[in-house]
Chain A
């Protein structure tokens, strides 16, 4: 899982509550990403950030928010507006903006969120 940490590993919340998932990397990577994984659907991009204080929506950003105040941190908030938030969430990073198109992404261990 490289130098990316995600906490907690398991998270349980009641419907209607916002929840924030942590992602920290010590790889000195510029770019960071959040993906959602559901069984049989692969990974879908939620948000990504190329540089501090900048981020872009991915394919399924509705109901989620992010911040990038520090290079090493990219927390994801799952809001009450997200219709189906129960999933496995993966954070990733890649080396630099200039070459990140051809560089591999390094993934954290994931957070499994269950909302009831």
Chain B
């Protein structure tokens, strides 16, 4: 079974400071990892993903994430936070080994982290 943990319900950061939103995962094989952002009463927007290759992944709106296999983590980062980054962030995982023959099962999502950027 696959699972995702986002250990912080809320993260508070001052505008202009670097931000980190934490995510750890558990899969039996190798992971596909995703970050999404959700604004109030809206659907989720894709930010970035790790499939294979470089452990540092760059995505939309200046966000990046670092895949760390030994720590089974995929933390989301941004060097300088904006007030407009305030939203709910979800990490998601899929076990790569389940899809050698194709397939389209849903992602397993974490419970989400509220990111609040203070002016």
Contacts and interface: CB of A to CB of B under 8 A. Distances in A.
Interface of A: 1, 4, 6, 30-31, 33, 35, 40-45, 48-50, 56, 58-59, 88, 90, 92, 94, 97-98, 100-102, 104-110, 112
B11 interface: no
Interface of B: 9, 32, 34, 36, 41-46, 49, 51, 90, 94, 96, 98-99, 102-107, 109-112
A45 to B, nearest CB: 4
A33 B109 CA distance: 14
Contacts of A92: 43-44
B104 to A, nearest CB: 4
A90 B109 CA distance: 13
Contacts of B112: 40, 42
Contacts, number: 82
Contacts of A109: 42-43
A41 B46 CA distance: 19
A24 to B, nearest CB: 14
Contacts of A108: 43
Contacts of B98: 101
A105 B46 contact: yes
